[in-house]
Amino acid sequence: MHRFNKGVEGTQRKHTMPSAPSKLYADDVSLLVVTLDTNPFFWTTFPFPFAEFLSQVLAFLNSILLLGQLNQLIVIATGCNSCAYVYDSTSERNHGSTTGTMPALYSNLLHNLHEFLARDKQLEASHKPGTVPSSLLSGSLSMALCYIQRAFRSGPMPPQPRILCLQGTADGPEQYVAIMNAIFSAQRSTVPIDSCYIGSNNSAFLQQASYITGGIYYKPPQLDGLYQYLSTVFATDLHSRAFLRLPKSVGVDFRASCFCHKQTIDMGFVCSVCLSIFCEHHDKCSTCGSVFGQAQLDASEANRKRKA
């Protein structure tokens, strides 16, 4: 056990990324990629209104830009049928000053979000009535990582990237593999994933994401003060985290989803070749095609055949 004296971030990051290549980042310039859960089915069932949530988040996004002139901000909407970039602070279009009543950031973002929802609705696939379909977290994580990879290649001193997931919808176990892949590639490129989960239970995906990448997982208990949580916990840049004591996760749900029925399982079968996870015994691995020995029956049958 290592000593805990520098805040979760300090120790965990040291722990998780033992030999992370020292990248030359622009000094304390952050590139924050925010994924915004815009699952309409979730928000209509959730007691906290979306308008309230959005205005608190908008204020937070604005303060990120205010924290440093060079800070970059990307917002990705996580719908239940598609994902899209809805705001990019680096694009020229978003540099306009206040239009009418609100800053360009708000009006552009809201406008894009509006359009996104219209497009998302058109793509709609039918889901089981009465249930909340999951948001495409894997998609937005991948988009965030792609953007960050582009930023890495943008010049000699890219800003320090991090991802913040604002998620409310419960995990979609069918996205397990995709999300885990995104998490691991984030870890490989030393991009921490912070998660602010506002849903009623904890999100195992986001817990794992933050645990593996060395980000912060926090589930704010008081949603009407969301802005304050966001600004005190998630606004801190990576450098400052080494000196701050931030809330730390109190446990991670490491359960996996099976590849066959996409259910979260406690115990299951693991392919000895490719480590795919199944909830029941299969004769053949659906991922890598390995044929599993059918213990006794086949052995004795083979024996009998040989004998004959």
Partner 1 sequence: MSSGQVVKRVKYKATVKDPGTSGVLKLTQEKFVFKPNDPTSNNKLDVEFRFIKSHKHTKEGSGKPPWLNLTHAQGSYIFELESFADLHVCRELVGIALSKHVQVEATKVISEEQLSSAEMTLRIKLLQEDSKLQRLHKELVASGKLTESEFWATKKKLLDQDESRKLKQRIGFKNSLIFDTKPMSDGRINQVKFQLTPEIKYQIFTLKPAVHQAFLNFVPSKMNEVDFWNKYFKAEYLHSTKNAVAAAAEAAEDEDLAVFLKDDEILEIEARKKVRRVDPTLDMEADQGDDYTHLPDHGIFRDGSKEISEAQNSLYKRTLLQDLNRQGAVVLEGKTLDMEMENPRTVAEILARRKQESDEVLGDERQNRISKMTPIEDLQSQDDHRYAPLCIKDPRDYFDFQQANAVKTLDDSQPGMEQMICSLGSEEAYGSLRASISKIQATGLRDPLFSPEVALKVLHGLTKNISSSKYHLGKTSQESVLDILPNTTKEKLLDHWVCSQELLRHFWSSYPVTTQNLVNKTRRLKDSISQIYSKLEEIKVSAQSDLRHQVSLVVHPMQQALDAALLHYDADIRKRNARGSKSNGYV
Q: Which of residues 10-49 bind partner 1 (CB under 8 A)?
A: 11-12, 15-21, 23, 38, 40-46, 49
Closest Cα partner for 187 from 9, 17, 8? Answer: 17
Please identify, using beta-carbon distances, which residue of 111 and 239 lies nearer to partner 1.
111
Is 51 an interacting residue with respect to partner 1 (CB under 8 A)?
A: yes
**Separation between Cα atoms, residue 147 and residue 104, nearest integer Å:** 22
Q: How far is the CB of 67 from partner 1 (least distance, A)?
A: 17
Count other Cβ atoms within 10 Å, centred on residue 25: 17
Is 4 an interacting residue with respect to partner 1 (CB under 8 A)?
A: yes
Q: Which of 69, 130, 305, 308 binds partner 1 (CB under 8 A)?
A: 130
Q: How far is the CB of 183 from partner 1 (least distance, A)?
A: 11
Is 151 an interacting residue with respect to partner 1 (CB under 8 A)?
A: no
Q: Which of 104, 110, 180, 260 binds partner 1 (CB under 8 A)?
A: 110
The neighbouring-strand residues paired with 106 are none
> What is the footprint of partner 1 within residues 239-278 (CB under 8 A)?
245-254, 266-267
Which amino acid is located at 82 in the chain? S
> What is the footprint of partner 1 within residues 160-199 (CB under 8 A)?
170, 184, 187-190
Q: Is the distance from CB of 248 to CB of 157 less than 8 angstroms? A: no
- Exposure string for 224-256, b = 16+ CB within 10 A, e = fewer: eebeebbbebbbbbbeebeeeebeebeebbebb
Q: Which of 66, 155, 296, 305 binds partner 1 (CB under 8 A)?
A: 296
Q: How far is the CB of 272 from partner 1 (least distance, A)?
A: 9
Closest Cα partner for 31 from 148, 139, 154? Answer: 148
Q: How far is the CB of 19 from partner 1 (least distance, A)?
A: 6
Is 97 an interacting residue with respect to partner 1 (CB under 8 A)?
A: no
Residues 6+ apart with CB under 8 A from 140: 35, 76, 77, 78, 83, 165
Is 145 an interacting residue with respect to partner 1 (CB under 8 A)?
A: no
From 27-35, 159-167, 225-233, 282-290, give the range in contact with partner 1 by CB under 8 A.
Answer: 225-233
**Separation between Cα atoms, residue 250 and residue 275, nearest integer Å:** 28
Is 150 an interacting residue with respect to partner 1 (CB under 8 A)?
A: no
Q: How far is the CB of 174 from partner 1 (least distance, A)?
A: 15
Please identify, using beta-carbon distances, which residue of 69 and 101 lies nearer to partner 1.
101
> What is the footprint of partner 1 within residues 71-90 (CB under 8 A)?
none
Q: How far is the CB of 75 from partner 1 (least distance, A)?
A: 13
**Crossing angle for the helix pair 204-213 and 176-188, to the nearest 10 degrees:** 20
Q: How far is the CB of 3 from partner 1 (least distance, A)?
A: 5
Is 50 an interacting residue with respect to partner 1 (CB under 8 A)?
A: yes
**Separation between Cα atoms, residue 239 and residue 232, nearest integer Å:** 15
Q: Is the distance from CB of 80 to CB of 120 less than 8 angstroms? A: yes
Please identify, using beta-carbon distances, which residue of 4 and 239 lies nearer to partner 1.
4
Q: How far is the CB of 182 from partner 1 (least distance, A)?
A: 14
**Separation between Cα atoms, residue 23 and residue 25, nearest integer Å:** 6
From 64-72, 174-182, 283-291, 294-302, give the range in contact with partner 1 by CB under 8 A.
Answer: 294-302
Q: Is the distance from CB of 175 to CB of 138 less than 8 angstroms? A: yes
SS3 state at 207: helix
